[in-house]
Amino acid sequence: MEERHAMWEAQLNDFDAGRRRAALHALAQAARQGDIHLPPERDVVNLHCHTFFSYNGYGYSPTALAWLAKKEGWAAAGIVDFDVLDGVEEFLTACDLVRLRGVAGLETRVYIPEFATREINSPGEPGIFYLMGIGYTQSRAPGAAAETLARMRETAAERNRAMLATLNAHLEPVRADYERDVLSLTPRGNATERHMLEAYDRLARVRFPEQKALIAFWSAKLGMAEEEVAKLIGNPHALRDVIRSKLMKKGGVGYVAPTPEAFPRVAEVNRMTIACGALPCATWLDGMSEGEQAEAELLELLIAQGVVALNIIPDRNWNVADEATRQQKVVKLYEVVELAKSLDLPLIVGTEMNKYGQKRVDDFDAAALAPLRGDFLDGAYFIYGHTLLQRVARLGYQSAWAAQHLPTRGERNAFYTEVGRLVRPGDAAKVDASLTPCALLARLR
């Protein structure tokens, strides 16, 4: 029986959507029959899981992430992919099946002219900013929003191809073909730098099957001593991180310097997000850059352009080896949480899993995070409440109904947070657009 369950779990990450769906149904049925024990819900969430539609360090599909979250007892889970909405409907449907609070989002990079000389949260790249949308309910976008999405995907592919051409020249005789070697690693053709790393690592191992020759190749190409490379060869993930650092990041031969023309503007992405009924969401790294030292200025600018929430990756801000740096980052974390609360910005938190070795979920019991648990859970309930009402009745945060009855951000935040807390995953929401928010909450209670 356990072997069968393991087989189904492995199938959750198959590139064939039908096989993923069938595997999840089988696992859910086994859980209902008592063959699989699922733990009670606990107060942890991860609303920022990348899937294999952009890149997941463990190869997880949206379906697999829904099962993982249910199997580990998360209170809520969310996916966020780069530049695409390909996994939205699959994930939300999977969450429905396993009775899990699920939300879905998108992440991209934008250019902020007002911060053109200041590094924000894209290291070494002044003016470039990671921006999210959260609370999407469909993989398709309407009208002009679909055009924006298509441009985002195309622009990312152009950057990848430019990087690949430069790397191919440097890594001769190892050359990667974008369609054959890179796009084949992702189910819907949305490749990232990490897919290119995987392709080059695989190709080099084929070209140099003898370890001594492989070590010599990477030693020459990375400018490292063979003894150092030898320590990495047996660990592909560590090797790929070094290749990325040496060749793809700023100063590397494959680095493509960003230009203002290469990225959309905040307003354009936010229009697309709002047109889809989702919520524009700012992101925060660790408060250490020049741009994030001016976080209040930045958030006021972004709020004026439609941002209504803030994403944080808590693990980066306390789980740091150097004690002095850790203390400094924890202080910054508490400061940004207080700033977000003062600006009525709910917190969307989670670990990305876009690199092997990253945690699957934050440790909310850690001393640095435990006092913030309530704020983090409120953010999860909030975005789930929005997602739920948007899906069942189009009464989400951006709806005309919300604008009429809940004119301020604070009122909306409180309402959707309460909805998300009241409606258990899998329960039918008794929603009627003729009701006021107070009447709707009374019905849900």
Q: What is the pLDDT of residues 258-290, one digit of tens each?
A: 888 889 999 999 999 999 999 999 999 999 999
Stretch 301-309: mean pLDDT = 98
User: Per-residue pLDDT tens for 156-175?
Assistant: 899 899 999 999 999 999 99
User: Per-residue pLDDT tens for 383-392?
Assistant: 999 999 999 9
100 and 160 share a domain? Answer: no
pLDDT of 241 over the 80 cut: yes
Has residue 264 been placed in a domain?
A: no
pLDDT value of residue 429: 67
pLDDT of 352 over the 80 cut: yes
Tell me which of 309-323, 348-362, 426-440 is least confident: 426-440
199 and 286 share a domain? Answer: no
219 and 80 share a domain? Answer: no
What is the amino acid identity at position 203? Answer: L
Domain limits at 221? Answer: 152-248
pLDDT value of residue 430: 72
Cα–Cα distance, 204 to 188 (Å, whole number) = 25
The proportion of the chain whose per-residue pLDDT surpasses 70, expressed as a percent, equals 100
First vs last C-alpha separation in the chain:
40
pLDDT of 364 over the 90 cut: yes
298 and 379 share a domain? Answer: yes
pLDDT of 94 over the 70 cut: yes
Number of domains in the chain: 3
112 and 134 share a domain? Answer: yes
Has residue 271 been placed in a domain?
A: no
128 and 63 share a domain? Answer: yes
pLDDT value of residue 426: 80
Q: What is the mean pLDDT of the chain?
A: 95
Say if CB 444 and CB 423 are below 8 A apart: yes
215 and 160 share a domain? Answer: yes
197 and 304 share a domain? Answer: no
pLDDT of 402 over the 70 cut: yes
Beta bridge partners of 312: 284, 349
Stretch 1-28: mean pLDDT = 95
Neighbours of 436 (CB within 10 A): 12
Note the residue count of the chain: 445
- Give the confidence band of 132 by pLDDT, cuts at 50, 70, 90: very high
List, edge to edge, every strand of the sheet that includes 309-312.
45-49, 76-82, 101-111, 128-134, 279-284, 309-312, 347-349
341 and 438 share a domain? Answer: yes
pLDDT value of residue 444: 87
pLDDT value of residue 165: 95
Has residue 288 been placed in a domain?
A: yes
pLDDT value of residue 428: 67
121 and 29 share a domain? Answer: no
Q: How far is CA 344 from CA 44, 339, 347, 384, in A?
A: 22, 9, 10, 17
